[in-house]
Each structure stands twice: as structure tokens, then as C-alpha cells.
């Protein structure tokens, strides 16, 4: 993770006050950094059904081009960081839906919560959220058979239902609890839940790993218990999570896990590793 | 040149280009770590007879290993890139995967990669699982004990094999003591291994033989029992010789190991330190003893 010096950034502060949805896919480091304030101000956005410019709804201050900071009232500003490929984007506050959708690279950091349908179709890069996430985080877009295809998502708080739906590759690490249907229809990849994993996790999963460190509410009957053991790869992930600032203690690396395999209604080669909570 | 009264012959060690890999073996405790480390580096003293040269580079603290368990770094050298994969897959498959509680990780960054876990995974009979973390791929291979974890590919780089020096002394006990001191001193260095048993060779070889079917034979010029029968290279009063052979990931590491080892070996009872070479025509890495030792501003130079 890169250190950020806000003295060398482009800062965009939203001053929009109404609740009209704003679509601002242009707010990526690749589109903004390296441009003059005038050029940035002329980038197109959609406010409701009207075409407007960034300068109409954001105050722009530019002190460098190291990274992009977006702040202010962002609740209705959707698609920030969409298809982001490179650079660093820092969100101060809670953005609108579709944040980081189909991002393929770079680093996206959110100081706040994220709503439903964020980080869908992600294929690379790192997304770090200091708060909680809504439903369908890092899931497949409607109509798509594949969800997250790569990269790392770190949510310090809780996540809503169907997090990582149809995930194909990558890592989702959740510091808190994961709501129902976490990792549903997973094809591969890894989801780690430091808190509790809610019921119906892994429904329809083919392959992939869901690692529950804080217990599981319920396991679907289409999963079979195989054994209790100490997976040798867990310490690697724990080390990585600790580097990402998530709560990991030594009892996890030295403790045992119950391995459930399923979902037998699908290919059945997925797994839920349930840490035996003392 | 003399160090502590020991003559340093103005000659050079002739070494060869090799390919080197470094990997980390971890285990639950030192018992199984030692078992795996000894097994994976066994019968790997010389490329001529063993196909590769390998040794334990150093033991690692739990904070230095990928999985936070006791570990060891192993260096393995082969003459060709092609042979590296075969040796790694064979040795890790037979000596690490089979050993309880172990895991095996790549420990050498490099653009030259050789598939290891990517080959061993087939042992999992389609039930193996791939994990990608921080840009590195690992394979979880199901085994009777639980799972064996291994890196997908291992890095390799050009290295040096066959750096050496010979310790010539008045009696076998003194020479053995000097060799042990050299091995202990070199043991603190990184990037090098001493592939022979205990780090020491007693049967140094010469190229060729009086037997036409042998490519190499005992180094007659340095055999005390043959003095008078052949043209001997041994000084008067010498009665025993031991050789230290060094493989390293680069020239600087081998030179440092030679410097450290030679200085440690210059003790009471040692008459001369020299080095093995083939006239400089075969090897592409020449380590001149005087040049190496002049770089160290050590005490005891005369």
C-alpha cells in the first residue's frame, strides 16, 4: 500500500446538494491526473438526465498529480472509479453505487462505507474500504455469469448479502461479518470473513474457498463435512490480512478448521473452512 | 602472502557457471524441518555424480518464513536450466512433500522461472487447489496427513559452482580442525553453500584418469600417500589435505566465502592454502587467492 501525501493530489469536492443521481465514470486517476484544472472541469458527467461538466458540481484544487482525492457529498455520485486501470483514488465519505465497477488496476481507498453494487466485475487492483459494504459487493453484474475476476478487496467492516457472487478469481477479505449468501455461485477465488459468516454461504459454488474465522451461522445441507485440520496456506493469508490492517490473532494460525465441501448441487469442489472458535 | 604464518599460494580457483535456485522449506518443528532439509539436500555433492549440488544455506527464524513456522533456505545448483526443473520437482516431490508437516516456497525473485508446484500438483489427482496471493500462485495438494503447500514456480539465476580452496597441513587432525573452522565461518554467510558432507571434501579430483573409462580420478598431486610416486604438489612436512568447495548465487558471494574460509583455516599446524584449477582453460570464473585476500583488511597478514 502506498503512502499518500495529500499535498500532491488533485482534490475534487462535490458541492451538489440535491438528490439527483450523478454518473461520473470519468472520476478515475487515469482520466483526471495529468490534466489542468480547466481540462478537469470540462470532463463530462450526467446529472439526472442532463449532460453537465465536472466543474458544475465539483470544486477542483490541484497541488500535484500523485493521486486523486474525491470528497464532499458523494452519496448520489455513482460510478466513481469505474473501469479504473491505474493510479491511486481516495474517496473521503460514502460514494454512490457502482464504485470501482470493472476496475482492473490501481488502488482505490474509501474512508467510509460503500453502498450496494460496488466493485462488481473487478479484475485487478486493490480496493480498501475502511467502513462497511452493502449487498452484492464485488459480485457479478446482472446478466453476467462471472463476478470478480481478480484483484483484492479489503472491507474493514461488515458486508451485505451475496458478497463475491459468482467470483472467479481474487481475494475478498472482510474484517467484520458477512451477510447471507456470501460467495454464492463462486467459481474460484478466496473470501475470508474475520467475523461471522451468515447462513446459506457458498450456495451454488463450484470451486473456491470461503474461510470463516469467527464462526458460521449455518451450513447448507448441500455441503459435506470432510475433516478437521490445519490448512497450511492459512498462515500466508493471515500474514497478508494483518498487513492490510484486519484483525488477526495468533489463535487463527495455530488453530484448526472444519472443512466443508460443496455445493453438491453444483460442481461441489468448493470449500468452507470454519475456524473452530474457542 | 602469509596469514598467521600460513603460506597462501599465488594461484586461483577455477569455477564454473551454474544455475542456482533458492527455496524455503518450513515445518511444524525442528525435527521435521531437519528431516526434510537433510533429505532434499542429500546425495547432491557434485553435478558429475549427482546431477545437482545442493545444501542448506541457513536456518530461518519464524518471522522470516512465509507461514511463520521454523524454516530453512536451501540452495540448489545445476549445470543447465533444463535440469533445474527436473531436480527441483524430483527432490521436492520425493523429499519434502513426503515429509510430515512441511511446506515449500520459492525464495528467489527472478524473471527466469521453473515450474515446480505446477508439476507436483498432478499428484492431487484433480483435487489439488490453486491459491493466488500477492501475485504468487501456490498449490494445495491433498495428502493423507492433510495438505502439502508448494509454490507454483521457483526463481532461478545464474550462479557459480566450484569455488574452492585446499588446506594443507602437518597432520590430519590439524587439517580437519582448520576445515571445521572454515566451514563454521562460511556458515554465517548468505548466498553460498558447501555441498559436500559437512562442507568438506577429502577426495578432491583431477580431470581424467589412467583408466580410459573414467572422466575424473583422485587428485594424485595432492595425495600425501603418493608422494614420490607421482609429481607431488605438496610441500615438505605436509601429511594431509582437505578441500572446501563453494557454490554461490554470484561471484561476490563465492569470493567472500573463500576469503572468510581461508582466514579461518589459517591456524596452528597448517602449512599452506592453495586452490584447485585446470589451468584456467575450462572454467569461466577464476578466483585468485591473493586478490581475494588483499580485499580484506584483516589482522594477521604478513
Over residues A42-82, the pLDDT tens digits come to: 999 999 999 999 999 999 999 989 999 999 999 999 999 99
> What is the mean pLDDT of the segment spanning B153-178?
97
Is the separation of the CB atoms in A260 and A225 below 8 Å? yes
Q: What is the mean pLDDT of residues B295-302?
A: 54
Select the residue from A228, A232, A243 to test the B interface by mutation, using most B Cβ atoms within 10 A.
Answer: A232
Which value, to the nearest 10 degrees, does the dihedral of the CA atoms of residues A78, A80, A85, A86 take? -170
User: Inter-chain contact A232–B131, Cβ cutoff 8 Å?
Assistant: no
Least confident of A236-240, B155-159, B251-255: A236-240
In this predicted model, what pLDDT tens digit does every residue of A136-187 receive, in sequence order? 999 999 999 999 999 999 999 999 999 999 999 999 999 999 999 999 999 9
Share of chain A above pLDDT 90, in %: 88
What is the structure's pLDDT at A1?
47
Is pLDDT of A5 > 70?
no
3-state secondary structure of B160: strand
- Residue A41 grid coordinates: 472541469
Residue in B134, B140, B147 closest to A240 by CB:
B134
Contact B27, B101 (CB under 8 A): yes
Torsion of CA B202, B208, B210, B214, to 10 degrees: 90
Instruction: State residue A30's pLDDT score.
Output: 95
State the Cα–Cα distance between residues A237 and A240, nearest whole angstrom.
5
Half-sphere exposure of B154 (CA within 13 A, CB side): 30
Query: Do residue A233 and residue B127 have CB atoms under 8 angstroms apart?
Result: no
Q: What percent of chain A has pLDDT over 70?
A: 97
| β-sheet bridge partners, residue B241 | B168
> Residue B122: left if φ>0, alpha if ψ -120 to 50, beta else—which one?
alpha
- Distance, in Å, from the CA atom of A94 to the CA atom of A129, rounded to the nearest integer, reads 10
Dihedrals φ, ψ of A143, to 5°? Answer: 90, -15
pTM: 0.91
| Per-residue pLDDT at B232 exceeds 50 | yes
pLDDT digits (tens, 9 = 90+) for B80-104: 999 999 999 999 999 999 999 999 9
Residue B297 has pLDDT above 60, yes or no: no
pLDDT band at residue B299 under the 50/70/90 scheme: very low
Calculate the alpha carbon distances from A269 to A205, A220, A260, B73, B83 in Å: 8, 14, 10, 34, 35
Confidence of residue B221 (pLDDT cuts 50, 70, 90): very high
Q: Which of B124, B134, B143, B152 to mutate: most A Cβ within 10 Å?
A: B134
- Residue B63's closest chain A neighbor by CA? A239
**Is pLDDT above 60 for B235?**
yes
pLDDT in tens, A120-130: 999 999 999 99
What count of residues does chain B have? 302
Q: Which ipTM value was assigned to this complex?
A: 0.90
> Is residue B300 very low, low, confident or very high in pLDDT (cuts 50, 70, 90)?
very low
pLDDT tens by residue, B102-153: 999 999 987 899 999 999 999 999 999 999 999 999 999 999 999 999 999 9
In angstroms, the CA B206 to CA B282 distance is 13
Give the number of C-alpha atoms closer than 13 A to the C-alpha of residue A243, restricted to the C-beta side. 12
With b for 16 or more beta-carbon neighbours within 10 A and e for fewer, the A71-80 pattern comes to bbbbbbbbbb
**pLDDT at A2 exceeding the cut of 60:** no
Give B228's contacts (C-beta < 8 A, 6+ positions apart).
Answer: none
**How high is the mean pLDDT of chain A?**
93
* C-beta separation of B7 from B262 below 8 A: no
Residues of B with CB under 8 A from a CB of A: 66-69, 103, 127, 129-134, 138, 140, 146-149
Tell me A183's DSSP state: T
Q: Which of B69, B131, B146 sits opposite A190 (nearest CB)?
A: B131
Does position B293 have pLDDT exceeding 90, yes or no?
Answer: yes
Q: What is the pLDDT of residue A4?
A: 58
Asked if B66 and A171 come within 8 Å (Cβ–Cβ), the reply is: no
Amino acid at each position: 500500500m502506498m503512502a499518500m501525501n495529500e499535498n500532491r493530489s488533485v482534490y475534487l469536492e462535490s458541492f451538489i446538494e440535491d438528490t439527483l443521481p450523478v454518473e461520473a465514470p470519468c472520476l478515475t486517476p487515469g482520466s483526471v491526473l495529468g490534466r489542468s484544472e480547466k481540462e478537469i472541469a470540462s470532463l463530462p458527467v450526467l446529472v439526472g438526465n442532463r449532460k453537465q461538466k465536472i466543474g458544475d458540481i465539483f470544486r477542483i484544487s490541484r497541488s500535484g498529480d500523485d493521486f486523486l482525492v474525491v470528497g464532499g457529498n458523494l452519496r448520489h455520485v455513482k460510478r466513481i472509479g469505474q473501469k479504473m486501470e491505474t493510479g491511486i483514488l481516495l474517496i473521503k465519505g460514502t460514494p454512490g453505487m457502482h464504485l470501482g465497477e470493472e476496475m482492473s488496476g490501481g488502488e482505490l481507498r474509501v474512508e467510509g462505507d460503500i453502498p450496494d453494487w460496488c466493485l462488481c466485475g473487478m479484475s485487478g487492483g486493490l480496493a480498501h474500504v475502511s467502513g462497511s459494504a452493502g449487498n452484492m459487493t464485488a459480485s457479478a453484474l446482472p446478466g453476467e455469469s462471472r463476478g470478480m475476476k481478480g484483484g483484492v478487496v479489503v472491507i474493514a467492516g461488515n458486508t451485505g448479502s451475496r458478497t463475491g457472487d459468482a467470483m472467479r478469481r481474487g481475494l475478498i477479505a472482510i474484517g467484520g461479518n458477512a451477510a447471507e449468501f456470501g460467495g454464492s455461485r463462486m467459481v474460484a477465488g478466496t473470501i475470508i470473513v474475520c467475523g461471522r459468516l451468515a447462513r446459506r454461504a457458498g450456495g451454488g459454488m463450484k470451486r473456491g474457498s470461503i474461510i470463516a474465522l469467527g464462526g458460521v451461522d449455518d451450513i447448507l445441507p448441500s455441503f459435506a463435512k470432510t475433516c478437521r485440520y490445519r490448512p497450511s496456506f492459512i498462515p500466508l493469508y493471515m500474514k497478508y490480512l494483518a498487513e492490510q490492517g484486519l484483525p488477526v490473532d495468533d489463535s487463527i494460525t495455530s488453530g484448526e478448521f472444519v472443512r466443508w465441501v460443496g455445493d453438491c448441487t453444483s460442481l461441489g469442489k468448493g470449500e468452507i473452512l470454519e475456524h473452530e472458535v474457542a | 602472502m602469509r596469514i598467521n604464518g600460513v603460506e597462501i599460494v599465488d594461484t586461483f580457483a577455477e569455477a564454473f557457471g551454474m544455475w542456482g535456485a533458492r527455496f524455503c522449506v518450513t515445518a511444524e518443528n525442528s525435527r521435521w524441518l531437519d528431516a526434510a532439509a537433510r533429505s532434499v539436500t542429500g546425495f547432491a555433492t557434485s553435478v558429475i555424480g549427482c546431477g545437482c549440488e545442493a545444501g542448506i544455506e541457513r536456518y530461518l527464524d519464524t518471522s522470516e518464513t512465509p507461514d511463520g513456522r521454523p524454516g530453512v533456505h536451501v540452495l540448489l545448483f545445476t549445470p543447465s536450466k533444463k535440469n533445474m526443473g527436473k531436480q527441483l520437482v524430483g527432490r521436492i516431490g520425493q523429499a519434502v512433500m513426503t515429509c510430515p508437516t512441511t511446506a515449500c516456497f520459492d525464495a528467489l525473485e527472478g524473471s527466469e522461472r521453473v515450474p515446480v508446484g505446477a508439476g507436483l500438483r498432478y499428484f492431487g489427482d484433480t483435487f489439488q487447489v490453486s491459491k493466488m496471493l500477492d501475485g504468487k500462485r501456490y498449490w494445495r495438494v491433498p495428502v493423507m496427513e492433510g495438505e502439502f503447500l508448494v509454490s507454483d514456480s521457483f526463481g532461478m539465476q545464474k550462479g557459480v559452482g566450484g569455488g574452492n580452496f585446499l588446506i594443507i597441513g602437518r597432520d590430519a587432525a590439524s587439517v580437519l580442525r582448520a576445515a571445521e573452522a572454515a566451514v563454521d565461518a562460511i556458515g554465517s554467510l548468505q548466498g553460498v553453500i558447501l555441498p559436500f558432507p559437512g562442507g568438506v571434501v577429502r577426495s578432491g579430483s583431477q580431470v581424467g584418469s589412467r583408466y580410459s573409462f573414467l572422466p575424473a580420478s583422485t587428485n594424485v598431486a595432492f595425495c600425501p600417500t603418493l608422494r614420490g610416486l607421482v609429481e607431488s604438489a605438496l610441500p615438505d612436512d605436509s601429511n594431509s589435505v582437505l578441500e572446501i568447495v563453494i557454490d554461490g548465487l554470484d561471484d561476490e558471494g563465492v569470493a567472500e566465502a573463500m576469503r572468510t574460509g581461508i582466514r579461518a583455516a589459517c591456524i596452528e599446524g597448517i602449512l599452506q592454502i592453495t586452490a584447485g584449477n585446470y589451468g584456467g582453460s575450462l572454467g569461466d570464473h577464476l578466483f585468485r587467492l591473493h586478490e581475494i585476500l588483499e580485499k580484506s583488511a584483516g589482522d594477521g597478514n604478513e
